[in-house]
Structure 1
Amino acid sequence: MYRLLIVDDEEIITDSLYDVFSSLLPDELDVCKAYSGIEAIEWMIRTRIDIVLTDIAMPGLNGLELIKKIQDYWPRCKVIFLTGHNNFDYIYKAFQMNDVRYLLKTEGYDKVTETVKEVLDEIKKSHRDNLLIEQTKEQKYAYEMMAQGDFMRHLIHKSQSVCANRTLLKSEFEQLNISLEPNYPIYFVLGRLDYPKEKSYTQRSTILSSVRSIWERQLSMQVKHIGVVDRYGDILWFIQPQKKPITGQQDLIKYLEGTLELIQEECLDSIGVHLQFTISKVIENWKSISFHYDKLRQLQQLKMGTGFPGIMKEIEDTISSAKKSVNAKQKVDILTAHLEANRVEEFFEEFHEIRTAALNGDYHQMVESYYAVALVLYSYISHYGWYEKILHQDKLFRIDEHLSLNKGFQYLEQISYDLFQIKKTEERNRATRVIDNICEYIEKHLNEDLSLVRLAEVHYFNPSYLSYFFKQERGINISEYIDSCRITKAKELLMEGDLKVREVSIQVGYQSAHSFTRFFKKMTGFTPKEYRENLQQASSS
């Protein structure tokens, strides 16, 4: 889903355009509005913007000044100037900017909507064209990426020794054409792909290549980066900002969040894959990379696995020592990752390898493997509080209650099956609860900001996926649901007869009575005044 921001200091124009575009392409266009250049900048900081439709002559921060700031945040953003000033100087300056169009307000709504649709088509075509270019590039750099990946994986696990000599490290980066600077801080972004179960190894490799291409296309303009696949099948990106225009840590994080959201959406739309991200804190010392990588993995394993494409930031070290003990062995660590990510087939494949290796070893090895797996399962049950949902889970640490160690592993396997079944049911129930909470919030806050961005912030979603998820669950667009709630509430208030139309409009989220009247007539066929008069006539007859 793409995001359109409408900016004009004349409220009636802003509200009218907002109404037009909110119903124009509800499945493709998320519409936001601002009544000043300063308010528009707040939207830019808050979320990604793809198209800006703005007046030029505004007090405080005019449209030309606004666009310069916008393109610092989101350089791919397209701009449409909509103004009543047929001024040559304005037009000349507008056309000097990249990706900018110029329309007069006198050209009417049809011309404006047609132009926005054209810009949307250009964005989509650009994505398709760039994808073809990147596919060609990928073949050329395949060998180089392989060499870079091997080196960076070695660095991940041996950072203390690999990064001991910064001069040597810089030299190796140059030889491998790695664009990162080992003397500057970095960020990690850990991405987890939710591959469809029926996909083969070759098909998964193709999906992985597509994700890499999407990432490269969306992020290459603003950051330096290199991505590697770790031993668990997840993608770890090393990231440093370019010198301009991102200057601070918070600016970089905001840029990453907005662009990662776009990557998630494109992965879902173009290749049908959910992608979850975890962003690290800034890493100043390259020698500590191994330590930070382990922390990021633990955070992802403990907090994700919902099936939704979320974006999580590392804030504090909230992982307790008890939970960290889940990572006692490499095999068990992989098992944990599969359980958290709901990868059923991979989990049991790994489980059977652990069991086979244990049963072929000595007694102490068998006991160690049993308790390691039992700890993984118990930690998961404890994390979600599923003590009463798993029958006989009290036997997890009573190995002597099993007739044999083989029977003990059969018991662990059954507990694992039960966990996956409960998780499937819980996720279905969670989806229902999430949508119910969103609907309840909408109904109670009709007079407040109900933009997709705001709803996503309140309920910890990414905005594009929230729109997709809501329609999938309820069968209608979220904007349609908001409109139905507003019209229902408006009818109730008009029925009472005490409030003025202006007061009713404010209570259902319309600051302009004119916009409310147009909305009400569109939904009911009557103006608010006509509707109230009809009610009064019906009650008196």
Structure 2
Amino acid sequence: MTQLLIVDDEIHVVERLATLVPWEQAGITCVHKAISAEEAIEKMHESPIHIVITDIRMPGMTGLELSALIAKQWKKTKCIILSGHADFQYAKEAFLNGAVGYLLKPVTDEELLSTVSEAVSTLNTEWEQVISQERIERTLRENSLQLRANLLSELIQGRRYSRSELQDKMTMMQVPDFYDKPFWSMLVRLEEPFYTYNPHNLALIEYAIGNMAEELFAPHFELWHSKDTYDYLVFLVKPKEASLSSPIIEEEILHTLERSASLLQTAIHTYLKGFATILVSQKGLFPADLSTLYYYTLSTLRKNVGAEQDLILTYAGESLENKAIRSIPALYELPTLAQFLEAGQWDSAQQRLERIASELKEKRDELQEQLLEVFLSIASAFTYFAHKNGRLLAELIGPNYDKLIEGTPHRSIQQLTDWSLEVLNHLRMDNEDAVKDSRTKLIAEVQQFVERELSNDVSLLAIAVHVFMHPVYISKIYKLETGENLSDYVHRVRMEKAARLLLNSQVKIYEIAAQIGYQRAHSFINVFKKHTGATPQEYRDKFGTS
């Protein structure tokens, strides 16, 4: 959808070009109009303008100044200069500012359509280059290492994806095929002197270790590595052999893995002049066992290694199949309940609470302990949200706060579920009321500013500076709440004030123009006539009191 903006201080020129030229032949789907550079800038903030046709000589900011500003702030927008002056200096400056065309008045429809068609073609070519498959693939290749690390970090922390979504991501990032395959994890804790390094130098060390591991494990294994929240390096290791059905083969693989880990530790000593503890986990199945295996390995590192340095340890605990998993996965899965609340994703928060309740029902052998864990975690998320928004939880949830203090919700799954969903609904309604109240105050503040500063700068940018918000946000919220474009509101206020002054005072027309923000009486007269069907003097003569 290609949008065009026509800018000229002569209203009849703007109207003729906007209504009589068959722009659809050049691929234009929407035409906007402005009678000054200032109004044009407001239109640029309000709508995604792709092409601007502007006159040069206008009161205030000239068309050349406007095109220079557009080239700086809206780099993809194309400007075409429409001028009544065959001045080489004007044309030179226009093209230096990035204009794609310079047309002389009077201009034919054919000339306009031809120039605009070329601009549309240029835009299409530029966007095709931006979204081209080759460019995307090149960008992915250049950033694939970080993207792969980020994905693994998310999965370790419990982020869930559907099978097809995860496989698509892994394929796109050129991750080895781990899906439904057995794997081991390897935790590398960097020690002296690495923890004294600054972030830049430490990142170089981590990158070097990743490269060394790829080299040392390559003959027998495929790797995928990342960094966890504790600054440990985490490697997933998958044997290249297709089958692990034989216990003998599995034992050989584990020995090879341990030898490779020992070589990595030696390489860190020799080439990076530092120490590292490495812990190799037991076998798991990707992705089902990933998060659980990681946390068991982390726990083993904490319990069996502690502060000792430069060790290698293989975790030989009981099988994951024989270990009762006591935690509630949905309680800690990313994004967490607290993150959903903070982002205002209320439906997702409700779905998470319902999943937590569902998983609780599968833990009946340890129900009381599970209920307490879930209750404390959910209460913590609710309290965090309230405090982050400058409120007390007791104020937001009323009687439900007494239940929290008494511990009533964690007496049964149903009580906990009912309480959680009811509190969530309270938080949601309070947030919606706060948003509505905030928008009402914003609209009032905008309108007060416009009415107070009408003789000065009431552009969208000036309003944005006054209320400390982004102009695009203000424009959209104003239209959403009032049903009227902000620029239309400003225009209406100006015309209404002009009409009152014309009818109820003897103020001269040029003075009225100045009071409502027009630097030139001529521009005011043209705009007023378009709005009312009469010039200011005609309006005064017809409706004014003698």
Give the TM-score normalised by the residue count of structure 1.
Answer: 0.52
Counterpart in the other structure of 1:342: 344
Equivalent-residue separation in structure 1 for 2:481 and 2:102 (angstroms) = 40
- CA contact 2:478–2:485 (8 Å) conserved in 1: yes
SS in 1 for 2:398: coil
Which residue number corresponds to residue 150 of structure 1?
148
Match of 1:515 in 2: 523
Q: Using the alignment, how far apart are the partners of 1:438 and 1:115 within structure 2?
A: 41
Please give the alpha-carbon distance, in whole angstroms, between the structure 2 residues aligned to 1:481 and 1:19: 23
CA contact (8 A) 1:55 1:63 kept: yes
Q: Give the corresponding residue for 1:374.
A: 379
Report the CA distance shift for 1:478/1:69 in structure 2 as closer, same or farther (over 3 A).
Answer: closer
* Letter aligned with residue 86 of structure 2: N
| Structure 1 residue corresponding to 2:457, chosen from 441, 449, 462 | 449
- Cα–Cα, structure 1 residues 510 and 109, in superposed 2: closer, same or farther, change >3 Å? farther
Q: Is the 8 A contact 2:6 2:32 kept in 1?
A: no
Deviation at 1:147, TM superposition (A): 4.9
Which residue is equivalent to 1:280?
Answer: none
Task: Provide the rounded CA distance (Å) in 1 between the counterparts of 2:136 and 2:384.
Answer: 41
Q: Which residue number in structure 1 is paired with residue 491 of structure 2?
A: 483
- Alignment correspondent of 1:273: none
1:492 and 2:490 correspond: no
Query: For residue 351 of structure 1, what is the aligned residue in structure 2?
Result: 353
2:81 touches 2:99 (CA, 8 Å); kept in 1? no
Is the 1:378–1:396 Cα contact (8 Å) retained in structure 2?
no
The residue aligned with 1:206 is none
Picking from 398, 412, 417, the partner of 1:391 is: 398
User: 1:174–1:502: structure 2 CA closer, same or farther, 3 Å change rule?
Assistant: farther
Paired with 1:28 and 1:64, the residues of 2 have a C-alpha distance of 21
| Gap change, CA 1:375 and 1:490, over 3 Å in 2 | same
Question: What amino acid does structure 2 have at the position aligned with 1:392?
Answer: P
State yes or no: 1:435 paired with 2:433: no
Displacement after TM superposition at 1:388 (Å)? 4.8
Q: What is the correspondence of 1:17-56 to structure 2 with a 5 Å cutoff?
A: 20=14, 29=32
- Does residue 423 in structure 1 map to residue 428 in structure 2? no
Go from structure 1 to structure 2 and tell me whether the alpha carbon gap of 1:445 and 1:368 turns closer, same or farther (over 3 Å shift).
Answer: same
Going from structure 1 to structure 2, the CA distance change for 1:448 and 1:86 (only over 3 Å counts) comes to: same
1:398 and 1:440 map into 2 onto residues whose CA distance is 46
Alpha-carbon distance, 1:501 to partner: 1.0
SS of corresponding position for 1:434: helix
Q: What is aligned with 2:76?
A: 76
Change in Cα spacing, 1:464 to 1:487, as seen in structure 2 (3 Å) is same
Could you give the per-residue CA deviations for residues 401-447 of structure 1, whole angstroms, max 9, x where no partner exists?
A: 45815324431221112322343444345444433443343333322
How many angstroms does 1:513 deviate by?
A: 0.8
Distance 1:34 1:450 in 2: 13
Q: 1:370: Cα distance to partner?
A: 1.4
Offset of 1:362 from its aligned partner? Answer: 6.6
Distance 2:527 2:352 in 1: 58
Structure 1 Cα separation of the partners of residues 520 and 542 of structure 2: 23
Secondary structure of 2:340's aligned partner: helix
State the partner residue of 2:106.
107
User: Superposition pairs for residues 112-511 of structure 1, below 5 Å?
Assistant: 121=120, 125=124, 129=128, 133-134=131-132, 138=136, 147-152=145-150, 164-167=201-204, 330-331=332-333, 334-355=336-357, 360=363, 361=366, 363=368, 366-382=371-387, 383=389, 385=391, 388=395, 390-395=397-402, 397-402=404-409, 404-406=411-413, 407-511=415-519
Residue type of the alignment partner of 2:463: L
CA distance in 2 between partners of 1:487 and 1:534 (Å) = 16
* C-alpha distance after superposition, 1:69-124 (max 9, x if no partner): 875665434233444542456646766885521123x4269899879965875576
Find the residue that maps to 1:107 and give its secondary structure: coil
Distance in 2 between the 1:379 and 1:355 partners?
21
Q: 1:495 to 1:95 in 2, by over 3 A?
A: closer
What whole-Å deviation, never above 9, does each CA across 1:442-492 have from its counterpart, x for those lacking one?
A: 333322323233333434444345444433433333222222211111111
- Paired with 1:332 and 1:138, the residues of 2 have a C-alpha distance of 27
The answer to whether the Cα contact below 8 Å between 2:50 and 2:78 also exists between their aligned partners in 1 is: yes
Q: What is the CA RMSD across the aligned residues, in angstroms?
A: 5.4
Per the alignment, in what secondary structure is the counterpart of residue 79 of structure 1? strand
Question: Does the CA-based 8 Å contact 1:15-1:512 persist in structure 2?
Answer: no
Distance, in Å, in 1 between the alignment partners of 2:108 and 2:394 is 60
Residue pair 1:18, 1:32 contacting (<8 A) in 2 also: no
Query: In terms of Rg, which structure is larger?
Result: 2
Q: Give identity over the alignment, percent.
A: 25
Distance in 2 between residues matched to 1:48 and 1:358, nearest whole Å: 49
Q: How many residues align?
A: 371
Contact 1:4–1:32 (Cα < 8 Å) also in 2: no
Determine the C-alpha separation between the residues in 2 that align with 1:123 and 1:434: 40
Distance 1:49 1:81 in 2: 16
What are structure 1's unaligned runs of at least 5 residues?
A: 7-13, 176-227, 232-328
* Partner Cα separation in structure 2 for residue 110 and residue 435 of structure 1: 41
- Give deviations 1:39-69, integer Å, cap 9, x for gaps: x99x99xx999666677899xx999899788
Tell me the distance in 1 between the aligned counterparts of 2:205 and 2:434.
Answer: 51
Do 1:48 and 1:74's aligned partners in 2 also have CA atoms closer than 8 Å?
A: no
In the aligned structure 1, how far is the partner of 2:146 from the partner of 2:407? 49
In 2, distance between residues paired with 1:465 and 1:109? 38
Deviations 1:248-287 (A, max 9, x none): xxxxxxxxxxxxxxxxxxxxxxxxxxxxxxxxxxxxxxxx
Q: In the superposition, relative to structure 1, how do residues 54 and 31 fare at CA in structure 2: closer, same or farther (>3 Å)?
A: closer
Instruction: Give, in whole Å, the separation in 2 of the partners of 1:524 and 1:122.
Output: 40
The amino acid of 2:479's aligned partner reads K
Can you give the 5+ residue segments of structure 2 that lack an aligned partner in the other structure? 20-28, 158-188, 213-225, 230-330
Provide the C-alpha distance between the structure 2 equivalents of 1:441 and 1:112, rounded to a whole number of angstroms. 43
